[in-house]
Structure 1
Amino acid sequence: MFSYWEKKHFFHYDLIVVGSGFVGLSTAIHYKEKHPKARVLVLERGVFPTGASTKNAGFACFGSLTEILDDFWHMTQDEVVALVARRYRGLQSIRRQFGDKKLSYSHVNGYELLEESQLSALDELKGVNKLLHPVFKEDVFSIVKKPEKLGFSDQVKAVVKNKFEGELDPGMYMNSLWKLAQEKGIRILTGVSVCEVQKDAGIVLAEDKVGKVSLEFIATKVAICTNAFTKKLWPDSDIQPGRGLILLSKPVDFEIPWKGTFHMDKGYVYFRQVDGRLLLGGARNRDFEGEKSTDFEVNPKIKSHLEKLATGVIFPGKKIDWDVEWTGIMAFGKIKLPLIQQVGPKTVAAVRLGGMGVAIGWQVGEELSVLLSKM
């Protein structure tokens, strides 16, 4: 049961964005900048963005050496270079927009640990640098001369440095998006679970989680920005969920001999230090099928693997006490490019960020706003 005032003011919009993560809020902001008088609503089922935006590890990265080399098996050289460029330019764009301080961005460099079986990647380093030179204008990757000073186990045979990567605080990034959205008059409703988008009519059917009340919102245009949870609203989409586990230790009682963002195993494993703690995550490649899930649960097989890496490779012989664990749900597809397209006369979608929402979310939102403006 709704009042006359509620029906009059809260259910009709020029644009409704489903999903309040990095892409959803970026889409709403860019569209509002192009159309200042438009009434824009963002709907979110959780208190915070549901998928991965505020659950990621805070890496400002675009691809490790072995990850890029692995991409060459599935993509052309031009496609791989374009993908890296898209990610790097996306990171640069949010730094320009919000400033490093508001993102808590730190340019600490990126690193990749190589085991014996991966040393052949070093033979390709020079060639990869040459391919990426048009984007960066200088070499991206170099070999760390004295990796033993970083304190890793002797399982690590080499360390590759990437001087163009850094780290940020995903919560501060989200705060910056919230503030900008508020300044532009964008309405955000949380606790609203969208059940259906009628793509031809611009009707969004939802449910209020608190009162179990059915809601019907009407918009001139609708944007689906639900990433891994898109199948429910767009069943034909090429979307495969990919869950990611992150472990955060208690503050360690020893000096950490390194700083930076680190990758292992073709980028599937990643770690960094946060407030004197070890943040360690990933390893979904240890159980791809098990991690094709939208359930926020911890996979014991992956957790055990990460814990062994912590005390066996990263801090050999040290005791690590774990404090917090969580999972985020990413979205992948047959190719690594984001899916940005019109899916109905009044509806568009921007999903499938491939675990790179920090790098490309703002940019994808801008591209979707352009598509919306053409409708």
Structure 2
Amino acid sequence: MVSSPLRREPDREPDREPDPSASKPDPSGVGEATTTALWIDQLGTIDARPPLPGDLDADIAIVGGGFSGLWTAYYLAELQPDARIVVLEQHVCGYGASGRNGGWAIGELAGAASKYAKLSSPQAALRLERAAFASVDEIGRVAAAEGIECGFHRGGNIRLARTTPQADRQRAEIESARAHGHGDDVIRLLDPDEARTHFAATDVRSGIFFAPCASLDPARLVRGLARAAEQRGVTIHEGTTVRSIEPGRVETDHGTVRAAVTVGALEAYTRDLQGARRDLLPVYSLMVATEPLPASVFDEIGLHDRPTFADDRYMVIYGQRTDDNRIAFGGRGVPYLFGSKIDRATELHEPSHRLIRDTLVELAPVLRDARITHRWGGVLGIPRNWLPSVRFDRASGAGTLGGYVGEGVAAANLAGRTLAEVIAGVETERTDLPWVGASARRWEPEPFRWLGVRASRRILIAADDREAARDREAKVATWVAGLLRGD
């Protein structure tokens, strides 16, 4: 029977929770692991770019030096080579989710196609899905063209079903995919034996192989993308805190940037802007990485073509085999903090990292003796309707993009490319996709936001527990969770 180790974490402030294993031996090395993200640690010393030198005039000011902002700048520089484009970043490019994520460039959007179809049409929603598929290869193309060595490898994604309800949901998903015109070249159902050839985890009932997905090193990609944008004439100022974005101007701690076009590309950190606390919900995701593993481990567990991997529990988990033969693995188990707080102590919550490591070992017991060398965390941004979007108001010159719900590596490429085309006034097959102009209502004020998110989390945990214990679908729990997500 499948257990769900992430469920055991108490629903309290992580930085106040005692560590029950603190006095026990720690053969896994979690307690001694480096608390810098693997990807960022492997970059070595990062020389920060100079901050904004003072008041500045520009044509386009982009706030946020992650994937969203940098892809927007990169494509804008291609479309408008004479434009004065400035990117403003509080820390260094890739400091946030873009440098700390799981390294999945997966060609899907967090929002269901049916939601986008309601905003437009089934045909338009299908075009959006296919554009998301294509974004994976576009990242590979740009990385090769710009000489960005980021370990890009298109090995697909394997998602396992490890209970009967998970297997039932996978069959329904494949039926839906076929009804929408997606064939085996995109997504296919695997029997247990075939699924185990991709990832020989425990308790495999079935699997789904999704082809449009690549594994990569996100920090090397985002830092390489910043250099590529600069080579096209984009100016990047790091160490610059933005206080507000207003029509025609961006106020920072180093001066004011006056620009006809402004772009907000802050994802979860949107909550730091004046008046934007309720626009996107910051939700934590934590990761661990093992030491480099010998070939004998992969002879036992598979992952030979470096697919990204997960299973179909509700409390999301995700992993990849890195290009230096580690396993980088994460999950969303840390509770939401009151007031949309972002807290460094929560990102480094050691008991949660231990539970993530335990979940990995439960999937692949051969990893029990693998030492954990890195543990880290970060925040992702969730809009109230769970739909990523691209928006631009030509009258005010204000643009925004994001809300990827943790699936932003490839989606940010498509969003940045699309927003650049919309800003430049160029009509393409992307500029009329149904996420362009989509909007969501704001999250509820506190304490209702905290109560709703915590309740949703408890329901998802209960659903995993019930399905693991009884091997039956937790219908009421999953229905309520969908209701809280705005489904």
Question: How does the TM-score come out when normalised to structure 2?
Answer: 0.64
State the alpha-carbon separation in 2 of the partners of residues 62 and 323 from structure 1: 29
1:253-275 per-position Cα deviation (integer Å, ceiling 9, x unaligned) = 55223112101225810112222
1:191-217 per-position Cα deviation (integer Å, ceiling 9, x unaligned) = 1111122x23x222212xxxxxx4222
Q: Does 2:401 match 1:350?
A: yes
State the alpha-carbon separation in 1 of the partners of residues 211 and 83 from structure 2: 42
Secondary structure at the aligned position of 1:29 is classed as helix
In the alignment, which of 249, 252, 258 is matched to residue 302 of structure 2? 258
Identity %: 19
1:374 deviation in Å? 4.9
- From the superposition, tell whether residues 312 and 188 of structure 1 become closer, same or farther in structure 2 (CA, over 3 Å): same
- From the superposition, tell whether residues 94 and 261 of structure 1 become closer, same or farther in structure 2 (CA, over 3 Å): same
**Which residue pairs with 2:190 in the alignment?**
143
In the alignment, which of 239, 262, 266 is matched to residue 222 of structure 1? 262
Secondary structure at the aligned position of 1:107 is classed as coil
- Counterparts of residues 1-375 of structure 1 (less than 5 Å): 11-62=56-107, 71=112, 78=122, 81=126, 84-99=129-144, 102=148, 103-116=150-163, 117-134=165-182, 138=185, 140-146=187-193, 147=195, 150-153=199-202, 155-197=203-245, 199-200=246-247, 202-207=248-253, 214-233=254-273, 235-236=275-276, 238-252=279-293, 254-256=296-298, 257-259=301-303, 260-264=307-311, 265-266=313-314, 268-274=316-322, 275-282=324-331, 284=332, 286-290=333-337, 293-296=341-344, 297-300=347-350, 302-316=352-366, 318-342=368-392, 345-374=396-425
State the alpha-carbon separation in 1 of the partners of residues 155 and 186 from structure 2: 17
1:35 deviation in Å? 2.0
- From the superposition, tell whether residues 363 and 126 of structure 1 become closer, same or farther in structure 2 (CA, over 3 Å): closer
Letter in 2 for 1:45: Q
1:105 deviation in Å? 1.7
Letter in 1 for 2:281: Q
Gaps of at least 5 residues in structure 2 are: 1-52, 427-487
1:125 deviation in Å? 4.7
Superposed CA RMSD in Å reads: 3.2
Secondary structure at the aligned position of 2:422 is classed as helix
Secondary structure at the aligned position of 1:192 is classed as coil
1:316 deviation in Å? 4.8
Gaps of at least 5 residues in structure 1 are: 1-5, 208-213
Q: Which sits farther off after the overlay, 321-330 or 302-311? A: 302-311
- Report if aligned partners of 1:230, 1:351 keep a CA contact under 8 Å in 2: no
- The structure carrying a bigger strand percent of its residues is 1
- Report if aligned partners of 2:107, 2:134 keep a CA contact under 8 Å in 1: no
Secondary structure at the aligned position of 1:99 is classed as helix
- From the superposition, tell whether residues 72 and 164 of structure 1 become closer, same or farther in structure 2 (CA, over 3 Å): closer
- Report if aligned partners of 1:251, 1:276 keep a CA contact under 8 Å in 2: yes
- Report if aligned partners of 1:310, 1:320 keep a CA contact under 8 Å in 2: no
- From the superposition, tell whether residues 35 and 166 of structure 1 become closer, same or farther in structure 2 (CA, over 3 Å): closer
State the alpha-carbon separation in 2 of the partners of residues 336 and 354 from structure 1: 7
Q: Which sits farther off after the overlay, 75-84 or 358-367? A: 75-84
Q: Which sits farther off after the overlay, 55-64 or 291-300? A: 291-300
- From the superposition, tell whether residues 190 and 59 of structure 1 become closer, same or farther in structure 2 (CA, over 3 Å): same
State the alpha-carbon separation in 1 of the partners of residues 308 and 420 from structure 2: 32
1:43 deviation in Å? 0.7
1:282-308 per-position Cα deviation (integer Å, ceiling 9, x unaligned) = 2x2x44535964223234553233121
State the alpha-carbon separation in 2 of the partners of residues 290 and 75 from structure 1: 30
State the alpha-carbon separation in 2 of the partners of residues 137 and 143 from structure 1: 11
- From the superposition, tell whether residues 126 and 248 of structure 1 become closer, same or farther in structure 2 (CA, over 3 Å): closer
Letter in 2 for 1:362: N
Letter in 2 for 1:226: L
State the alpha-carbon separation in 1 of the partners of residues 136 and 220 from structure 2: 15
Secondary structure at the aligned position of 2:287 is classed as strand
